[in-house]
Amino acid sequence: MRTGGVLNILGKLLILISLCLLTPIPFSLYFEDGMTATFLLSAGLGAILGLLLLALFAPEKDLGYRDGFAVVVLSWLGLAFLGALPFYFSGKMPLFVDCFFESMSGFTTTGSTILSQVEILPHSLLFWRAMTHWLGGMGIIVLSLAILPLLGVGGMQLFQAEMPGPTKDRLAPRIQDTARILWGVYFLFTVVLTALLLWGGMSFFDAVCHSFATLATGGFSTHNASVGYFGSVYIETVIIIFMFLAGTNFALHH
Residue 83 has pLDDT above 50, yes or no: yes
Backbone angles phi, psi at 163, to 5 degrees: -100, 125
Calpha distance 226→229 (Å, rounded): 6
- Domain annotation covers residue 57: yes
Q: SS3 of 89, please?
A: helix
Mean pLDDT computed over 61-72: 74
- Domain annotation covers residue 118: yes
- For the stretch 85-136, pLDDT in tens is 999 999 999 999 999 999 999 998 898 999 989 999 999 999 999 999 999 8
- Domain annotation covers residue 22: yes
- Domain annotation covers residue 199: yes
DSSP 23: T
| pLDDT score for 193 | 98
pTM confidence score: 0.85
CB half-sphere exposure, 233, CA atoms < 13 A? 0
- For the stretch 7-57, pLDDT in tens is 988 898 899 999 999 999 999 999 999 999 999 999 999 999 999 999 998
| pLDDT score for 63 | 66
- Domain annotation covers residue 215: yes
The residue segments making up the domain with residue 81 are: 3-164+174-253
- Domain annotation covers residue 240: yes
Q: Cβ–Cβ contacts within 10 Å for residue 109, how many?
A: 22
- Domain annotation covers residue 112: yes
Residue 140 has pLDDT above 80, yes or no: no
What's the chain's average pLDDT?
85
**How many domains does the chain fold into?**
1
- Domain annotation covers residue 169: no
